[in-house]
Amino acid sequence: MQIRELKIPGAWEITPKQFPDDRGVFLEAYKSSAFEKAVGHRLDLRQANVSVSKAGTVRGIHFADVPPSQAKYVVCPRGAVLDFAIDIRVGSPTFGQWDSVLLDDVDRRAIYLSEGLGHAFIALEDDSTVMYMCSAEYAPGREHGVSPVCSEVALDFPKTGRDGSPLELLLSEKDTAAPNLAEARESGLLPTWDAVQAYLATL
């Protein structure tokens, strides 16, 4: 298992070693010892979610209040998605920036997003299945969003899917109505770098 920190502090790409044979393939999708060595603390799993999306579906940018926020370990067992880690932590040296990882059923990578980061992805083919292992349960009053088409964040969504066909962005009403980054910051909705670091120090 190879673990690489992305350009956004607090986000990692995890590439498992795969063991194929004539029956199929085996891999370790998550390994606590390797994870803890790279990240510096254990993942306290509290909830696991699964979404199935048609090509072009965009989910995000989602985040939760700090503390405790909601760290996410994300895999795509079927299909393909481009997954984004967005730095929405006010005061962070990379505030407003993002990085991405292709999650699919070929390389079977994962992405880990620590507390305080924004998360989004776009499905690159129909029936793309994403599993999120989360450090906190869903709490409606503490969950928030930033528009995934915010021009300040400027996520670079692919124009074509896995099969080369054009992608049309599909957003939920909630994500469409979400504020842009500046609006979320001005309203005090975003987590701060200092609050996130203080919380991470307790883990």
Residues carrying an active site annotation: 62, 132
Residues 152 and 149: their CA atoms lie apart, in Å, by 9
Helix, strand or coil for residue 148?
Answer: coil
Residues 70 and 49: their CA atoms lie apart, in Å, by 12
**Under a CB-based contact definition with an 8 Å cutoff, are residues 113 and 162 in contact?**
no
Cis? peptide before 67, omega within 30° of 0: yes
**Under a CB-based contact definition with an 8 Å cutoff, are residues 148 and 120 in contact?**
yes
3-state secondary structure 19-42: EEECCEEEECCCCHHHHHHHHCCC
Q: Which of 33, 113, 105, 36 is closest to 69 using CA atoms?
A: 113
Taking the CA atoms of residue 173, residue 175, residue 176 and residue 178 in that order, the dihedral angle to the nearest 10 degrees is 120
First to last CA, the chain: 23
